[in-house]
Amino acid sequence: MGKRLETLIELLKNDPNDTFTLYAIALEYISQKEYENSIKYLSLVIEQDEKYIAAYQQLGYVYSVTSRKTEAAQTYQKGLEIAGLIKDKHAADTFSRFLIELK
């Protein structure tokens, strides 16, 4: 475990519901190719804040690089729906592109 990840986990102890810290931990795990841990933390982010759009992008990515195309497609589809709800056209376009690339 790297120093940055250790620091983030320590920060999380002070506020276990901090979605930004949870997301940062997930990104650290992705950078270390520890995909199962990243899935765990990204899922927590989404559970705590359904509109945390970047978490859907990263979770879909992790599913796609771990050959879980069905889960990737479901995650991107949910992200697309959330992007529509919050009127984020850029994110919606990105999710649409990711869905096309999965096929």
The pLDDT-based confidence of 1 (bands split at 50, 70, 90) is confident
Q: What is the CATH number of the domain that holds 44?
A: 1.25.40.10
| pTM of the predicted model as reported, rounded to 2 decimal places | 0.94
* Cβ(74)–Cβ(100) below 8 Å: no
- Residue range 42-60, pLDDT digits in tens: 999 999 999 999 999 999 9
The total domain count for the chain is 1
Name the residue range of residue 28's domain: 3-102
How far is it, in rounded angstroms, from Cα 29 to Cα 9? Answer: 11
Residue 86 in contact with residue 53, Cβ under 8 Å? yes
**pLDDT tens per residue, range 18-44:** 999 999 999 999 999 999 999 999 999
pLDDT above 70: percentage of residues in the chain: 100
Which residues are within 8 A (CB) of 15 and not within 5 positions of it... i.e. 6 or more apart?
Answer: 21
